[in-house]
Amino acid sequence: MWRKIYYSVLAAMYFGVVYVTHGSAAPVSISEPVVIRMMGQFGGKWKFLTIWNLLLQGLFFTICLLNDIIGTNEPNPKKTPIIRKVKDTLFTALAFPLSIFVGTTFWGIYAVDRELVFPKILDKYFPVWLNHVMHTNIMIFVLIEMAMNFRSYPKRKTGISILGVFMMCYLIWMHVIYHYSGVWVYPIFEVLNLPLRILFFVGLLVLIVVMYLIGEGLNNILWSNQIKAVKSNKAKKRH
């Protein structure tokens, strides 16, 4: 029962934050162009990867809840339900690497110069607790999920391909926003020239692949016995 309550709370928290941040437009004025740029214009709040990730986390923990109700968390079930396969694939290919990526890049850039990612003026509209839900909790709860449940990682090529397609979709979306609004989603891109911007994009794509590999490595360490059992069971079925 506690697991169902836990997953219900997490799903409600993430969907609730998306609703709050999307439904509560901050008052803006001509004297606050940063707020206008960050919270208005083409794309609204849907231009931020953070919001995409919050929706993804809400969806993932909803699937976790459904899996607890109609699926299974057994490491090596006789027949793996579809909901369990969806849960494992969503966590490994997107939920884990994306949350760690969003959290580490946000706080990393924030530590260097917060104006490049979250200008101080936004503190009036986004309280500290909300900022931590969006950029800190996302890392904490996927790490807890990593330790709570065994999951089967897909073939590395498959997992990274899913992640790559997702990131390319967001990259295209960023450029669509720039095309129609004339401003970059994140202020950091305004201080980079074209060659540095390309290098930065490539570096971010490499970084998120590293996050995927870190997740795979953690899973192998935490669930080594279960992984061996699954591989052994597959080998027996082949023979």
Q: What local confidence, expressed as pLDDT, does residue 40 receive? A: 56
Q: What local confidence, expressed as pLDDT, does residue 26 receive? A: 46
Tokens, residue 173: 């979306």
Q: What local confidence, expressed as pLDDT, does residue 30 receive? A: 36
Q: What local confidence, expressed as pLDDT, does residue 227 receive? A: 85
Q: What local confidence, expressed as pLDDT, does residue 28 receive? A: 43
Q: What local confidence, expressed as pLDDT, does residue 184 receive? A: 85
* Of 114 and 77, more confident: 114
Asked whether residue 16 carries a pLDDT value surpassing 50, the answer given is: yes
- The Cα 91–Cα 134 span in angstroms is 18
Residue pLDDT, tens place only, 86-102: 999 999 999 999 999 99
pTM: 0.89
Q: What local confidence, expressed as pLDDT, does residue 31 receive? A: 46
Mean pLDDT of 181-197: 87
* Of 188 and 69, more confident: 69
Name every residue whose Cβ is closer than 8 Å to that of residue 38 and which is 6 or more positions away in sequence: 119, 122
Coil, strand, or helix at residue 193?
coil
| DSSP notation for 41-99 | STTGGGG-HHHHHHHHHHHHHHHHHHHHHHS---SS-SS--HHHHHHHHHIIIIIHHHH
- Would you give the DSSP letter of residue 204? H
Q: What local confidence, expressed as pLDDT, does residue 111 receive? A: 95
Backbone angles phi, psi at 9, to 5 degrees: -65, -45
Coil, strand, or helix at residue 173?
helix
Handedness of CA 93, 95, 98, 104 (dihedral sign): negative
Residue pLDDT, tens place only, 106-137: 999 999 998 888 888 888 778 889 999 999 99
Q: Strand runs (DSSP E) across 102-168, as ranges? A: none
Name every residue whose Cβ is closer than 8 Å to that of residue 180 and which is 6 or more positions away in sequence: 42
- The Cα 64–Cα 86 span in angstroms is 10
CA distances, 119 to each of 41, 113, 186 (Å): 17, 9, 10
CB 191 within 8 A of CB 127: no
Q: What angle do CA 118, 62, 78 make, to 5 degrees?
A: 130
Q: What angle do CA 223, 77, 166 make, to 5 degrees?
A: 65
* Of 141 and 30, more confident: 141
* Of 123 and 196, more confident: 196
Residue pLDDT, tens place only, 25-72: 444 443 455 555 555 567 778 889 999 999 999 999 999 999 999 999
Q: What local confidence, expressed as pLDDT, does residue 24 receive? A: 46
